[in-house]
Chains A and B, each alone.
Chain A
Amino acid sequence: MSSHVISTPRTTGEPGERILRYTLTERVNHWFAALTYIYCLITGLAFWSPYMYWLAAIVGGGPTARFWHPWLGVAFTVSVFWMHQMWDRDMQITDADRRWAKVIKLYIENDDQNLPPEGRFNYGQKLFFWLMFYGIILLLISGIGLWFVEDIPWSLRWLRYLSVTVHVIAAMATIAGFIIHIYMGTAMVRGGFTSIIRGEVTADWARTHHRLWHEEVMRRQPPPGAVGSRK
């Protein structure tokens, strides 16, 4: 677990402790993944429908879009695997998640006070992570099929068709997750967006959304006067 409590130099007398939620590495990786995904999303949507083909124009036109899409797809994959390496343990589904999942309706309805406490990532975030993780595996494999379609022998042409199908379904699934992710990260859970940029959340924020994680952080490193290093 790499997160810990820090004191911020900007806090001047106010009791608001700030906790480091994402290290610099995590943030960089996230945004690397985000940008590559968004690029693939834009270009992928351009290839997906004539009504969105104009999207290709904003990233340099069709041929350029087609050229970079697979490469950035590979970059995205690398990023996701890196995330997996960093967050694998944090992302394991726990009993707390299972309890939380049963009352997810409360979460959707913003009745957070009545939700069971969650760890560093809640069940929804974990689901999103695994969706993207397995999604990218499928996208990568099927993407290679589309990338080198001519090299699939004619006798195995069902692989060509399978690639198309899998790529589309996997992309759609990640898009569904992506929409929710963006919504929650920006509009719904205030503070989340800042945290993935600056890395910090307030203790209150942490207690509200990830109490078990907050408690754990507190246990390890009591807040007042504590000095941490910004990573």
Chain B
Amino acid sequence: MARSWQLKAGFMSEATLAIKKISGHPGPAPGANVERDYQVAKLIDTTTCIGCKACEVACLEWNGYTFTETFFDNSYQTMPATTWNYWNLIKFNEHEREDGTLQLLMRKDQCMHCADPGCLAACPADGAIVQYTNGIVDFQQQNCIGCGYCVSGCPFDIPKFDPTTKKMFKCTLCVDRVSVGLEPACIKSCPTGCLHFGSKEDMSYLAESRAKQLRENFGFEKAGVYDPSGVGGTGVIYVLHDVTNPEAYGGLPKDPHIPWVVRFWKGPAKWIGNLAMLFGVIGVTIHYFRYGPKEIHPRHDNGGKL
């Protein structure tokens, strides 16, 4: 069964790289109104993840990153969080359930490829972050100015800064592979089939059916699919044993959304500020027209009535 959910050869590649949303861009994006047949999605079934970290290494190797010095920190986890050149990290948590039984929760952390990406909303640089019509959110480093606004915009703490190049980096969902009909490197490396890749529709169906199986056959009554609506759904969805407690999975936010501050900042505040500045300039101009420059009164000795 699992096989049939694998990538249908080539379907991802058609016109994949049409752009739906562009960061910091005055005016609409070329693909703004394009409705594609397929939104791509990655499904991560945490209930069958064995924490082997093959995806971590595959990610490094495909993207050409080498050795990062790491330190043991009372965990199997490679490092505390993803870094600019380590985009894919399995987060481990020894979770004690209410009945006293232990769970070793393992969740692959990476960019969630939100339908409504906070990074893109926050980004001021024209074209530094784009969202393709297939749903992939991608950083274009040649346009990135390294301001870090995306860090504030992201509800998942994903974009990371490279101090050398002064650019932001994150998981690309292997857009370079997907656009030629291949699955992302992490998917290819996964030995247990806990990772799947395909259309969002198929992945959602598969995820829901797995969650149902977990509820009905394996006693996980709260099993469910994590596809948070606060960010318009995500291009990476999880099956969780307990969907009511995503925080236990290495801090997956319960109800992620673009911070309202960022929304306000990039929405109303923009127009309020722009108008205020405009009115300021207009105001002083009118003042000049009305009153003109101040005059000098050299012999006036009674300055001031008071």
Contacts and interface: CB of A to CB of B under 8 A. Distances in A.
Interface of A: 46-51, 53, 56, 62-63, 65-67, 99, 103, 108-110, 112-117, 146-147, 149-150, 154, 157, 160-165, 168, 172, 175-176, 179-180, 183, 187-191, 202-205, 207-209, 211
B282 to A, nearest CB: 10
12 contacts: A50-B24, A53-B126, A110-B294, A113-B297, A114-B304, A116-B304, A116-B305, A146-B147, A149-B152, A160-B151, A164-B149, A204-B297
Given A46-B124, A63-B145, A164 B292 contact: no
Contacts of B303: 112-113, 115-117, 207-208, 211
Given A48-B124, A168-B265, A188-B293, 16 more contacts: A50-B25, A51-B26, A66-B166, A67-B166, A110-B291, A110-B294, A113-B303, A116-B303, A116-B304, A117-B304, A157-B259, A161-B259, A180-B280, A189-B294, A203-B298, A208-B295
A175 B277 contact: yes
A50 B22 CA distance: 11
Contacts of A103: 306
Contacts of A114: 304-305
B296 A110 contact: no
Given A149-B151, A183-B287, A50 B262 contact: no
A189 B293 contact: yes
Please tell me the size bucket of the interface on B: 35 or more
Contacts of B293: 187-190
Contacts, number: 154
Q: By DSSP majority rule, is chain B's interface helix, strand, loop, or mixed?
A: loop
B42 interface: no
Contacts of A112: 294-295, 297, 303
Interface of B: 24-26, 81, 124-126, 143-149, 151-152, 157, 160-161, 166, 251, 259, 261-262, 265, 269-270, 273-274, 276-277, 280-281, 284, 287-288, 291-298, 300, 302-306
